[in-house]
Amino acid sequence: MSVTPHDESFMAAAIRLSRRHLGRTATNPSVGCLIVKDGVVVGQAITAVGGRPHAETQALAEAGELSRGATAYVTLEPCSHHGKTPPCSEALIASGVARVVISVTDPDPRVSGRGIAMLREAGIEVDAGVLEAKGRRSLAGYLTRQTKNRPYVTLKLAVSADGMIGREGEGQVAITGPEARAEVQALRAETDAILVGIGTAISDDPLLTVRTPGLEAQSPIRIVLDPLLALPLTSKLVATAREVPVIVVASEEISPSGSEGGAPPTRSDLESRRTALEAAGVEIVYCNPYHPEILLPALATRGISSLLVEGGAKTARLFLETGLVDRIQLYQAPVVIGEGGIESPLEITDIPSGFAHTGTQMFGEDRLDEYERGL
């Protein structure tokens, strides 16, 4: 049997389902699985919050005896390894499903192709690569961390009608409206970590959490690029560091084991800032804050698969210039900033080459354009 439009419809549903647990299954991918019998969904599941159980075993449990002769739709190749749970391929074989339809093959070296091989050896018909581009996008964080040893990076910018992202010396300036802000909250909720530069952390005093009622627990880890530990102890970030983690990325040169000397502040100043930040629950990581190509693998090692860069202009430029942005979300608002504006590092007319325009949506008066590089 070959792949039919029905297969694509069920896979689209499985992909949509999988997105519900994005940002909540680290370091496991959020996978969606449907069990379909005679054209009807009889079991459906997502990788559980926390990463286990995997999607397939839960969907099969729901379908029960109805799995026999059914088709399983899975967004990622079923696992073949004995990890923290037994292999899903074995569970599928034991359930008696007749066919397994897969979107993306698993780059995990413990699985990669073996899951499919196990199913075929057991006489199950397997079709892989169904809605693959869409499937890959839904697994972007997992795939990027597995294959590039860094998180998938989204750069979000909100630009005024006159090309500004804020006003000098004024802290947070409203550029987008409530609908767009709600959308950004949803994006934060599906992302592992969010990053800003120290300039933004000081001038805007942002919280960087998810405030959508009921989703507060899905706030990302908050990261500040802060070479000299300038994050104020009175900032909202520091004040809430015990509820939602804050990581300050400071220069290696100022680490307690780093070399002496250099520019002000003095070593004892730095030492007391470090002690105070740590006492407030902030974690300090010593890593060159101006080299995302070094920082990002360090974040991947900590299990961070997706990163949202939210500002400011300098930090956005740094990530763009090092070619470490995978997706750009550019909001354009009708607001005019005028005098004293901070120029956007990016406008719709100068999106870097290599990015494809993947969609436009309106949120109230604001227009969101999305651009992605190949995964």
**Residues of this chain that bind ligand AOF (CB under 6 A):** 28-29, 31, 47, 51-52, 54-56, 76, 78-79, 83-85, 88, 106, 108, 111
* 318 within 8 A of 288, measured Cβ to Cβ: no
User: What is the edge-to-edge ordering of all strands in the sheet holding 40-46?
Assistant: 40-46, 32-37, 71-76, 99-104, 125-127
State yes or no: residue 93 binds Zn ion (CB under 5 A). no
Rank residues 78 and 292 by Cβ distance to ligand AOF and give the closer one.
78
Q: Which of 14, 42, 88, 313 binds Zn ion (CB under 5 A)?
A: 88
Q: Copy the structure tokens of residue 25.
A: 């299954």
User: Residue 51 binds what, of ligand AOF, Zn ion, none (CB under 5 to 8 Å, by partner type)?
Assistant: ligand AOF
Burial pattern 336-356, b for ≥16 Cβ within 10 A else e, equals ebeeebbebbbeeeebeeebe
* C-alpha 272 chain-centroid distance: 34
Q: Which is nearer to ligand AOF, 108 or 204 (CB)?
A: 108
Q: Which does 292 bind (CB under 5 to 8 A by kind): ligand AOF, Zn ion, none?
A: none
Residue 277 contact partner, candidates ligand AOF, Zn ion, none, CB within 5 to 8 A by sort of partner: none
Distance in Å, CB of 37 to Zn ion, minimum: 21
Which residues does the annotation mark as catalytic?
56
- Measured from the CB atom, the residue of 14 and 196 that comes closer to ligand AOF is 14
Smallest gap from residue 111 Cβ to ligand AOF (A): 5
> Residue 84 binds what, of Zn ion, ligand AOF, none (CB under 5 to 8 Å, by partner type)?
ligand AOF
**Per-position x/- string for 47-66, each x denoting binding to Zn ion as judged by CB under 5 A, each - no binding:** -------x------------
CB of 149 to Zn ion, least distance (A): 22
Name the DSSP class of 52: -
What is the per-residue burial (b if ≥16 Cβ within 10 Å, else e) of 141-180? bbbbbbeeebbbbbbbbbbbeebbbbbeeeeebebbbeeb
Residue with tokens 């202009």: 313
* Closest to 31 in 3D by CA, of 60, 56, 61, 13: 56
CB 127, min distance to ligand AOF, A = 16
Are 119 and 94 in contact, with CB atoms under 8 Å apart?
no
Residue closer to ligand AOF, measured from CB, 143 or 295:
143
- Dist CA 346 CA 348 (whole Å): 7
**Which position's Cβ is nearest ligand AOF?**
83
Give the strands of the sheet with 246-250, arranged side by side: 283-286, 246-250, 221-225, 193-197, 306-311, 152-159, 327-332, 366-372, 356-363
Q: Which is nearer to Zn ion, 48 or 351 (CB)?
A: 48
Q: How far is the CB of 80 from Zn ion (least distance, A)?
A: 8
For 322, how many CA atoms within 13 A lie in the half-sphere containing its CB? Answer: 16
Query: Candidates 46-54, 61-69, 320-328, 359-367 — which segment interacts with Zn ion by CB under 5 A?
Result: 46-54
CB 62 to ligand AOF: min, Å? 14
Please tell me the distance from the alpha carbon of residue 274 to that of residue 11, in angstroms, as a whole number.
50
Residue 79 engages Zn ion in binding (rule: CB under 5 A): yes
The bridge status of strand 164-167 relative to strand 341-343 is antiparallel
Measured from the CB atom, is 87 or 206 closer to ligand AOF?
87
* Contact partner at residue 31 from ligand AOF, Zn ion, none, CB < 5 to 8 Å by partner kind: ligand AOF
Binding residues for Zn ion, rule: CB under 5 A, are: 54, 79, 88
